[in-house]
A and B are shown apart, each in its own frame.
Chain A
């Protein structure tokens, strides 16, 4: 390390950083990522204040959640990737066990069950799985040469399918989708052959009718409504119709903060949670949307950069799949709210109110920061 280096713009070479950069490096945080996340959280709070009809209590609860999330991020950033790699199988096994437990308790308690009541607080095992699966895949594929062989691939697909199935059965289609994609990204980045990818798509398409039959009524309805929302304008299609109206009526400049009529007159359902993007689009217009997407893209780019600069397979795969999963959140949420995709319960990261997802997302950024700051010092 050269303590006299003044070049603190080159984030790639932390050993030459000085001042603030050195401090952040020492506490294992990545400055640009941290800044972008804080910016995102602030925008989120501004939108939540409007979406929640100026309810400061709602905002306060979100602030507490965000603080918890940031603490979580900082804490996880302190853990060395090697340790994470050691824990991966155990965390994964515990996650599967808890998912099964939740399902069994759900059978007993009737209806959807996603929570595990641990006395002091309630815990959502599916959220843990969002981290556990990419860790497990990265750990499993990181121990052998890439690209993986056939037997390993088969084991990997089991690793993906089992938790996905368990979560989808809860039923929580949104989370199942995110878990599955995190695993698939790991496999893709590990370099599985294109032939395999193509045949997997064909297999998925072929199994679609079976998946349809396994879906719950409300899930089937959502898909049907997505295909033609006008069939039920007061029922299931209502969400999509109202959110596209909100977005479309926002125009380029928006109706102004606190002036969204769709949201403030209750036309927009779930407006502080899953549909918060519609509030933002209505009040801040295309300009607000562009700003938000820029921040998201910056975070995604930063995550992919960290993955690219990571020095072993485990960290590469983990950083890559976590970042891409983060992007899936964004794409699925905005796609759903703007009527491109069917309605699945996926929040807009760090903007949507509530949910354990804040903690999970911040934890994944903690992992990214740990990977970033624990590279072997070359030279």
Chain B
């Protein structure tokens, strides 16, 4: 069971305010409480006006909701960040090498380091990608790596998001709002900037032109449209990069070349940052009835006339059972020891693991292998008897769909809640950009915070909020 006292508070530490938080601590102490409430409302107004909303499709309520924003920043020292950064680069390099390998020679499977069936019988394995060489051998150009912290030096990777990770617009806009609300604070702190993320993203996308591209590649962002929960982010990124935000109907494939319809006629498109799922990309190959995609896009892709970021089939590395093997991938492809730790994970398809999980269900977190957004998840220590019984039945019926992990005592950061300032659990999603030339990481990431007391679920669809994430310079 998780004891509140047992978790690491990133500001208070074990013996007094930790150095990176000295300024934030002093600032909080000097700030009148009603001032904080006033600023909180101002921030909310700013988010509404800018239109940074997140569509949540549940019964009733406002379909365009704000993700609660907490004013108190989460702070990492430069040295802490440097360690994370090296680990992230290493991990994403190995993930890309792994995805390339499973669609080519499958060396890691032959070597018996990752179970063959886990990959070849995985619903995220896309045979459509077999034997296809991608520019720079990059599949996950944009990866979001979810991390948690349990102590001053203990970080764990919770999961890898290699398909279409979202949330980076919050990283940039949270900082923007903080700068507007508290300019003085930033004058006193040396915080590494994050506003150049869109430039770095564009550089990354331009570094992977398709083989048949001549000259400067034309990059577009493909969105499912305004009803998508992350539409604001799509518009924000396209705008910041100065590229067209297109929907499926704006694109046309002719002679296996992809074009966009413009007022001047058809214009060739070279790189598509797509924010639609694999299955909707091309109705001639995937869902025949998809209206979101572009007929023939897959063939233009395979013909080397257009590149997609992220690649089709990158989801094979997202799978929570594949996750177990990432440290092994790092050793196999890079010949290095992993710098970032995995959370010890029980693979329910293994009989011994399953037995253990069933016996200790009330201590563990159980996750659906293909789930995301905190759905299909059981937090044992917080679950009711009914929920435990339900998951016990699910695990017995479909063990290969689940993994389980011990409940970690996630670190906390002071958070402004109704009762005042109180510790709340946080995670961190840094965004790693892999281009044909190099890896780029903007210092920081998205900090998500579980606003309910004691809660460990930080997902925005489950009532989580966000914070500005500071990496201190020097």
Task: Specify whether A and B are partners.
Answer: no
